[in-house]
Amino acid sequence: MNKLFELNPALDRAALAQRFRETGRVQVRDVLTPATAREILTVLSKATPWGMATGAGDENRQSFPAEKMRTPQGQQEINAAAVQAEKNSAQGEYGFRFAHYPILTAIQEQWAPGSAHEILLEHLNAPDFMEFAREVTGIDALEKADGQATLFAPNHYLGRHIDSHVGEGWEVAYVLNFSPPDWHPDWGGYLMFLDDDGDVVEGFRPRFNALNLFKVPQSHLVSYVPPFAPVGRMAVTGWLRSQ
């Protein structure tokens, strides 16, 4: 039986740490062994009951479980929430829409005890990964990771924001990517970092088996995925926390 999570032993941790010190962000390519990366891709693509996450401002965030997406009433609710998110974005305010499976919530509410998603989050909280994260970021206070599975399909996006919840222990955001290796720039879904003037100072292409780490708060977004893009910008995302 394949392992679900194993770090690539050939990573140059010193170089990654230097990059993070210089910019407050880094993309770690080939972060996992090929076998475990393929295993997680299988979990995301074939064993994840995708729901929908929408947001129209910081105070109006909604999470719709997969069951909602299978009923006419649920579809109406999701579409209404998506429209409200787009209205916010059209006015230059915060909005987002993407498919997701809230792993931490699923564990807390015992949706599927012993599932691969639960085991994956356990690996992200295990000593191997947390010590790696502390070594790369230089933040010794990192204690735990939360997480959700995310899928940016056509018409999905995550508007500009800064992740300012430092009072809740958020220290570093992470994105563990499992997009197709041939993901084209025209398909969007880039993690983009912005300066105070709104200019893009750096962008990370969604790469298969690549881990993005960045210090928060920091202005960023996930660029809009156009209608002609394939379904498949999948990732496990969340925050590495000090409490």
Q: Domain map of the chain by residue range?
A: 13-49+98-241
140-145 LR contacts (CB < 8 Å, sep 24+): 141/171, 141/242, 142/171, 142/172, 142/240, 142/241, 142/242, 143/169, 143/241, 143/242, 143/243, 144/240, 144/241, 145/121, 145/174, 145/238, 145/239, 145/240, 145/241
CATH number for 13-49+98-241 (one of 3.50.50.60, 3.30.420.10, 2.60.120.620, 3.30.230.80): it is 2.60.120.620
- Write down the pTM of the prediction: 0.96
Once rounded to an integer, what is the mean pLDDT over residues 102-109?
97
pLDDT for position 138: 98
DSSP-derived pairing of the beta strands 144-145 and 25-29:
unpaired
Residue 134 to residues 17, 118, 127: CA-CA distances in angstroms? Answer: 9, 22, 10
Q: What is the pLDDT of residues 28-65, one digit of tens each?
A: 999 999 999 999 999 999 999 999 999 998 889 999 99
Number of C-beta neighbours around residue 39 at 10 A: 19
Q: How many CA atoms lie within 13 A of 52 on its CB side?
A: 23
Beta bridge partners of 194: 200
> Of 39-53, 79-93, 161-175, 214-228, which range is least confident?
161-175
pLDDT for position 1: 42
Q: What is the pLDDT of residues 166-201, one digit of tens each?
A: 668 999 999 999 999 999 999 999 999 999 999 999
Beta bridge partners of 152: 233
pLDDT for position 98: 98
Torsion of CA 111, 114, 117, 121, to 10 degrees: 110
